[in-house]
Structure 1
Amino acid sequence: MTAGTVADTRSRLLATALKLFREHGVEGTSLQMIADELGVTKAAVYYHFHTKDEIAEAVAAPALRELLEITEAAAAHRRQGARVDHALAGFVDLVVRHRALLALCNSDPGLVRAIDRTLNGLDDFKVRLLDVLAGPDPDLELMISVHVALAGIALAGGSPDLADVDDETLREHLTGIGRRLLRRPRRRA
């Protein structure tokens, strides 16, 4: 098997797993179901992943890596307002592009556990993200607003009730709401 074939198979496996996780939940999806849907043997799935937990972690990993990159890029800005703007725009874009994953995160404890395992030991990341969005010495209202903004954007982005809203419209509304919650001035058209 060539490296390209292995990478392609892995990508197809993760896309199939996400589809099945959305349909049946992480707990309700077996490795055999993933293999059957892909049209491969269970051994082929084992070649890439030994457990369903590993698959769930791998499904979430690209979005989590991207969130880490967004946070670090935002932190590199000199002004607090620029940090907030960068982090918010990046977070909203990430949520919109990964709507299917967020829908699963909002409803499936199996994926939430996988994300927690992936973030285990990255407590400094959580602190860093809050620091980027709230700045030094935030008051309680701003800290609560940051938590509400992050959770609310993620929940709304993955909401089945908003699945028919086009990406650009959703992005616009999530950004506007996030800007208000994070005390950012309204953008001029």
Structure 2
Amino acid sequence: MAAAPERTRDRMSRVALELFTAHSYEGTSIQMIATAMGVSKAAVSYHFRTKEELLAAVAEPAFNDLQRFFDEVGAEPGKAAQRRLALKGYVSVLVKHRGLLALLEQDPAAAASPFVREKMTHFAQRLVGLFIEDASNPKEQVYAAVALGGMRNAAAVFSMFSDAELNQYLLAAAERIFGRAAPRKSRASRSPSSGR
């Protein structure tokens, strides 16, 4: 069982996410968080010296889950069955942290936080490498980045769906996107003996 200070920090993080989402990161003060929790501003500042530290605590569970996801699936694209399992795991992470994703989608100040930006950049690059077989192909890199960004965006904006529904719809979309047939070679790249 979590110790009392840890439970308090967790509760502060949950309340902070709710207020950041309702009033924006910049529009939420430490005093607002303290008032919502029924504690003094000093009590919040005891656990989090700055609002930036509080935002990092709000985002950290999602990044920890992403790290666990990579620890489990590895960092290289696998065969179709492995890729499907990886998609399933990634979609689960997106759905679990949809509240944070909604905040980062609608609030540029929160998304621009150095902690958040550094982690997002790091994991975005790893995700692209995981879901494409030809990591040296710029066209495929861009395709994967757009697809993954779309999945993240969908997890953030479709609040009308339950977690189970969103998980189902996101996974179906992801399988269609990443299960597409390999792109055909253009006419110019075919060998002379293959055609006119």
Check whether TM > 0.5.
Answer: yes
- Tell me if the contact between 2:75 and 2:129 (Cα under 8 Å) persists in the aligned partners: no
**Which residue is equivalent to 2:188?**
none
Instruction: Number of aligned residue pairs: give it.
Output: 180
SS in 2 for 1:79: coil
Alignment of 1:29-178 (within 5 A): 29-75=28-74, 79-114=78-113, 116-118=114-116, 120=118, 125-137=123-135, 139-159=137-157, 162-178=158-174
CA distance in 1, matches of 2:129, 2:116: 21
Mapped partners of 1:81, 1:131: distance in 2 = 15
Distance between the aligned counterparts of 1:53 and 1:176, measured in 2?
36
The separation in 1 between residues aligned to 2:135 and 2:145, in whole angstroms, is: 15
Q: How big is the shift at 1:118?
A: 4.3
Stretch deviating more after TM superposition (163-172 or 45-54): 163-172
Aligned-pair identity in percent equals: 35
Unmatched 5+ stretches in structure 1: none
Cα 1:33–1:79 change in 2 (3 A) is same
Distance 1:110 1:117, change over 3 A: same
Change in 2 beyond 3 A, CA 1:180/1:142 = farther
Aligned-pair distance for 1:177?
1.2
**Which runs of 5 or more residues in structure 2 are unaligned?**
182-196
Cα distance in 2 for partners of 1:122, 1:178 equals 20
User: In structure 1, which of residues 162, 175, 181 is the aligned counterpart of residue 177 of structure 2?
Assistant: 181
Name the larger-Rg structure.
Answer: 2
- Shift in Å, 1:155: 0.7
Give me the whole-angstrom Cα distance separating, in 1, the residues matched to 2:45 and 2:164. Answer: 39
RMSD: 2.4
Q: Give, in whole Å, the separation in 2 of the partners of 1:40 and 1:7.
A: 16
CA distance in 1, matches of 2:108, 2:146: 20
TM-score, length of structure 1 as denominator length: 0.84
Give the drift of 1:140. Answer: 3.9
Mapped to 2, the partners of 1:89 and 1:30 lie a distance apart of 37
TM-score, normalisation: structure 2: 0.81
Distance in 2, matches of 1:166 and 1:108, equals: 23
Confirm or deny: 8 A CA contact 2:77 2:133 kept in the other structure.
no
The answer to whether the 8 A contact 1:76-1:83 is kept is no
